[in-house]
Amino acid sequence: MTVNHGGERLNALKNVNYILVILVIVLLFFVLDFFAINIGFYLNTFILMILRFATTMILPWIALYWLIRLVKAIEKRNDESKEG
């Protein structure tokens, strides 16, 4: 006797949800194109806006974090070499 914990059914429902989301997005593209709304322009603008935000706001903080880690590692190595 096997016990089904619902994992397989949950996986199947997730796959159906992904397919429905993709279908809605494709349908939205066709409907907006029918009304002469160029969604590609807006999508391109949005992607470029996100990329610009990431390069000006997020990436410098990541670089600073790794620079601080590098400085700490170098200081630790120098302290260990002075002691030993």
- Residue type at 33 in one-letter notation: D
What does the pLDDT read at residue 6? 60
Q: Are residues 73 and 62 in the same domain?
A: yes
Q: Are residues 51 and 33 in the same domain?
A: no
Residues recorded for the chain: 84
Per-residue tens of pLDDT for the chain, all 84 residues: 555 556 677 677 778 888 999 999 889 888 888 888 888 888 889 989 999 999 999 999 999 999 999 999 999 999 988 876
Angle CA(77)–CA(80)–CA(84) in degrees, nearest 5? 140
What does the pLDDT read at residue 37? 81
Q: How many domains does the chain have?
A: 2
Distance (Å, whole) CA 68 – CA 46: 32
Q: Are residues 44 and 83 in the same domain?
A: yes
Q: Which domain holds residue 56?
A: 38-84
Q: What is the largest CA-CA distance in the chain?
A: 75
Q: Are residues 23 and 52 in the same domain?
A: no
What does the pLDDT read at residue 4? 58
Region for 36 from its dihedrals, namely left if φ exceeds 0, alpha if ψ lies in -120 to 50, beta otherwise? left
What does the pLDDT read at residue 84? 63
Q: Are residues 74 and 45 in the same domain?
A: yes
pTM over cut 0.75: no
